[in-house]
Structure 1
Amino acid sequence: MFSKIMVPVDLRHEEQLKKSLNVVGNLAKTYKSKVVFVGVSLAAPTEISRNPEEYTAKLALFTQEQSNQHGIHAESHPIFSVDPTADLNDKLLDSIDELGADLVVMATHIPDVSDYIFANHGNYISDHADVSVFLVRG
C-alpha cells in the first residue's frame, strides 16, 4: 500500500518523536516500505551541529539507530536552508515529490492557542501535500 514513507524529524526534539517513530516502524514493517528521515537545518552552526557535514552525520546516525531498533530499511535526507523556520513547509513539500514518497508521517503536538498565531507544520503539510499524511500526536 505504501512503498516510501517520508518522516520529517527535528533532532532537537528526539524525545517527543518516540510515539511517531513507533508508528513509522510498524507501518514500514507492515507494508515493507522504505523510510526516509528528513531533517531541515541551517548550514550555519546550531545547537545540533557546527556545519552541514556534522548535521548530515548526526541525521545518518539517527536513521541507522531507528533502522536497527525497528528492523526497517531507512535512509536519511538532510536539507539545508538559510531560514528553516520560514522555508520548512516548502522544503518538506518539495521533498515529498523529490523522494517519491507516498506517505508522510509527522509528529505533532496537541493544538493550543499558539496555533492561531504560529504555523502548525503538520496541518500545512496535510493541507497541501498530494499524498497521505499521518499526524501522530504525543
Structure 2
Amino acid sequence: MFKSILVPIDLADTALAKKAIDTAATLARTYDGKVRLLHVISLTPVVLAEYVPADFDEQQRHDAETALAEVAAASGIEPARLSTAVRQGGIYHEIIEEVTAIGADLIVMSSHRPAMRSYFLGSNAGHVVRYAPCSVLVVRDS
C-alpha cells in the first residue's frame, strides 16, 4: 500500500520527529516500503546575505546533512529501506517538490498542537495536508 514514505524533519526539534519516524518505520516494514527523511533549510534573507560568510549556504547544507545522517542512524530503520535528503527553500513547497521527485505515496509528519496564530496564518503541516498529491498522516505530540 505505502511503498514510498516521506518524513519531513525539523532538525531543530528532532524529539518531535521521533513519533513520525517510528510510525513511518512501522508502515515501511508492514508494506515492504522505503522511508525518505527530509530536512528543508530556509533561504537566507537577502537583508542578512551581506553579513554571513560566502559559503554560509554550503556550510548550512553540510551541517544539515550530518545531523540528518545522525537522525537516520538512530532511527532503527534498516539502511536498505532508508534514504535522506536536504533541500533549501520554502518548507511546504520543498516537501511537495520532494514528494513529486521520489513518487512518494505517503507523507508522515509531526506537528505541534495548533496555537491560536495557526488558525489564522496556517502552518507548514496545514499547507502540506491541503496541497500534497498523496496521503498525509499528521502525528501529533502528546
Which TM-score bucket, shorter chain as reference? Answer: 0.7 to 0.9
Aligned 8 A contact 1:29 1:71 in 2: no
Aligned 8 A contact 1:105 1:136 in 2: yes
* Offset, 1:65: 2.2
Q: CA RMSD in A?
A: 2.0
* Offset, 1:13: 0.3
Q: Describe the superposition over 1:61-104 as per-residue Cα deviations: whole angstroms up to 9, x where unpaired.
A: 222321xx2446110010023xxxxx111111111101111100
Aligned 8 A contact 2:39 2:87 in 1: yes
Aligned 8 A contact 1:41 1:79 in 2: yes
Instruction: Report which stretch shifted further, 108-117 or 128-137.
Output: 108-117
Structure 2: gaps of 5 or more residues: 45-51, 53-57
Structure 1: gaps of 5 or more residues: 82-86
Residue in 1 that maps onto 2:92: 89
Q: Matches of 2:63 and 2:19 in 1, distance apart?
A: 26
Q: Matches of 1:52 and 1:112 in 2, distance apart?
A: 30
Aligned 8 A contact 1:8 1:106 in 2: yes
TM-score by length of 2: 0.80
Residue in 1 that maps onto 2:68: 59
